[in-house]
Structure 1
Amino acid sequence: MKADFWKNNPVTVIIIAIQVIVYVMMTLAGGSENSVILLRFGALQAGLVHAGEWWRLITPVFVHIGFAHILINSITLYFIGMYVEQLFGHWRMVAIYFISALTGNLLSAYWLPTGISAGASTAIFGLFGAFIMLGLSFRDNQAIRILSRQFLILVVLNIVTDLMVPGIDLAGHIGGLFGGFLAAYMVAAPRLGRVNVIERLLATVVLLAGVVALFIKVS
């Protein structure tokens, strides 16, 4: 069973393994809630991105603030990543995950110019967005449609929670959600069927335009 999970979901397993390793290293270095350690390991801070440290638009997905943070994100990634990777394929999963991380962290850097943020949730929300795309594109598939609705409800509940609880990066979540939704259209899901070419083209144009506009805003 474990071997089958690794064979079917290597990207999900590797991402979780990396973030756990990073968390252990941060803990040993001085604590994952220490702002100095967070920045040293690649957390997002808009001023540093503005100074040319563009890698911070990706590295925050491997950095977590406290044990509860990494535990919740790892469990969530385990379940949603498993679905997305098997339905889209390994390399498309990579593309969706890191495009979502990029768009989420770009919007976060624009919206929160002075704060520090980290966590895989920007990319995880992108995986939710990818599943919503599947629900729209393959609505005749009952199983996909039901799962898509369930994930949509989960997204709505999370956004409501974000609005009520201080300190949560709502901008990063929304940016990741839309990034994943558009990226899923761009890469399509040939394992399930064809996606409308015009919709793919439009999503690609909107995604690229949004990324460029945010780059300009935070640079």
Structure 2
Amino acid sequence: MLKKTDNGNAGRPTLCRNCGAIVGAGQQQCAVCGASVTQATTRNPSAAPDNETLRFARAVLDRPYKFTIILLVANLFVFLLMWQSSGLTSQALWEFPEPVLLAYGAKLNSLINEQQQWWRFVTPMFVHVNLPHVLINMYSLWVVGPYVEKLYGSAKFIVFWVLTGIAGVVASYLTVRPALAVGPGRFLFKSSDVLSAGASGALFGLVGVLFVFGIKFRRELPEGFKRAFGTGMLPIIMINLFIGYLGRGFIDNAAHLGGLASGAILALAVDYRRPGEKAVVATAWRVLQVAAIALVAVSFLKTVQHFRNPLPPSLVQVETPVVDERATKYVSFAKAMNDGQDAFYLALKDHKVDSIDPAVKQLETAPSLDPRADGIKDSLKALLTRAKAAAASVANARVKQAEQSLLADDFSDWSKQYNEWLKTTGRSYGIIEVMEPPSPQ
């Protein structure tokens, strides 16, 4: 038994139970404090796991987490500025007006593509759509952020936050694909270019870091930390993905998954700051930290440069009245088209046809804009009629599945025609499209 205990460090690294430093495989003495690994192991084997956990906790969790607090303050500060721009009304706390979200840097693909507003890949991680949104995200940051900052150090933590936040916005940007936002695709893809904002992409990135950290270093971690990280993060991930599934079409799941994946990749590539190591951050990481902070600062400077004067209360509280007759007709036309698409989704995915007849009637009464728009409108009416018939069909499952697949393909082709019209002739009406509610990350 004693011989087996003496050689217990031969196969893998372990922690010095005197100071918490890493002891290499096969070493019998800690290089930091000089304590004998064999003696520390044989004194009280039964208490070793608890002592090991306590020493690791003292060595790691006593580290400062000042940048977590700085991020909390920064997000809340931006939120208060947005509330002020919204007129400081109680109604605005539950839903900021879209002009305010845009002014403070929310993501909108059309502005990135057409006006090269690249900073909207960075600023959305500090912008939130309402009070519950910012409170939930900041509570999550308060829970998860300190662990990542203490394990990896402040420099790596800031780099992780910015990179995973950007990755989440990029994923949101790439998944505006109306043709794919049908059926199960609605979980990931968006049917239109909607506003998107929130810190959830970066938060999922931190969760991804902890998940991979626990698995990657499972042989080094004390038993108590193995249970907390790694597979211990799976319930959090699965619960949030389930919530995202329930809120598909409203919650930006692409941003969440983009942040989660990028955080996992970073944790695979980057080591954490082990107990006993000198608290000197490599120069390269200091440079990256400064670069990340500078990128955020420049992005908000660009936002300020493009920030129009604070919105007057009239614009915050009510929509701008449309006085142009062409624009008025377009708004009515676009609403009918949006309602028709929603009815089609419900019929194709959930076999709910109650909204089809009202949608068809609304399309029939929608104003005529031009021959091409009228043809697209009639095509949508035909698709709705087919979707209703398919839902009521008594054919066998294989035939129904084939019809639904054909419907989905035809709707995809129709979406391309409609989006092409929006980008060309639709511009002449002064509005590209009727925006859906902003999508929180």
TM-score range, shorter chain: 0.7 to 0.9
- Number of residue pairs matched by the alignment: 189
Per the alignment, residue 122 of structure 1 pairs with 201
- Of 233, 236, 239, 1:157 maps to 239
Partner of 2:133: helix, strand, or coil?
Answer: helix
- Of 260, 263, 280, 1:177 maps to 260
1:43/1:56 contact within 8 Å kept? yes
Q: Write the deviation string for residues 133-182 of structure 1: whole angstroms up to 9, x where unpaired.
A: 11111112223321223322101110111011141000000000001111
Per the alignment, residue 224 of structure 2 pairs with 143
User: Quick check: 1:43 aligned with 2:122?
Assistant: no
User: Quick check: 1:19 aligned with 2:82?
Assistant: no
Superposition TM-score, scaled by structure 1 size: 0.81
Q: Distance in 2 between matches of 1:53 and 1:174?
A: 23
1:62/1:120 contact within 8 Å kept? yes
1:192 CA drift (Å): 5.8
Higher helix share: 1
Alignment of 1:46-61 (within 5 A): 46-51=109-114, 52-61=116-125
Q: Distance in 2 between matches of 1:20 and 1:67?
A: 10
Q: Distance in 1 between matches of 2:99 and 2:129?
A: 12
User: Quick check: 1:34 aligned with 2:97?
Assistant: yes
1:191 CA drift (Å): 2.2
Q: Write the deviation string for residues 59-106 of structure 1: whole angstroms up to 9, x where unpaired.
A: 111101111000000000001001000001001001111110111110
**AA of the residue aligned to 2:226:** R
- Of 71, 86, 95, 2:135 maps to 71
Per the alignment, residue 168 of structure 1 pairs with 251
Alignment of 1:86-97 (within 5 A): 86-97=150-161
Superposition TM-score, scaled by structure 2 size: 0.41
Judging changes above 3 Å, is the alpha-carbon distance between structure 1 residues 135 and 192 closer, same or farther for their aligned structure 2 residues?
Answer: farther
User: Quick check: 1:133 aligned with 2:212?
Assistant: yes
Partner of 1:8: helix, strand, or coil?
Answer: coil
Partner of 1:44: helix, strand, or coil?
Answer: coil
Q: Distance in 1 between matches of 2:225 and 2:162?
A: 23
The unaligned stretches of length 5 or more in structure 1 are: 194-219
1:190 CA drift (Å): 3.1
Comparing both chains, which one has the higher relative contact order based on Cα–Cα distances under 8 Å and sequence gaps of 6 or more? 1
Partner of 2:73: helix, strand, or coil?
Answer: helix
Judging changes above 3 Å, is the alpha-carbon distance between structure 1 residues 49 and 144 closer, same or farther for their aligned structure 2 residues?
Answer: farther
**AA of the residue aligned to 2:247:** V
Judging changes above 3 Å, is the alpha-carbon distance between structure 1 residues 71 and 92 closer, same or farther for their aligned structure 2 residues?
Answer: same
1:26/1:41 contact within 8 Å kept? yes
Q: Distance in 2 between matches of 1:124 and 1:174?
A: 11
1:44/1:56 contact within 8 Å kept? yes
Q: Distance in 2 between matches of 1:192 and 1:95?
A: 21
Which deviates the most, 40-49 or 71-80?
A: 40-49
Q: Give identity over the alignment, percent.
A: 30
Per the alignment, residue 9 of structure 2 pairs with none
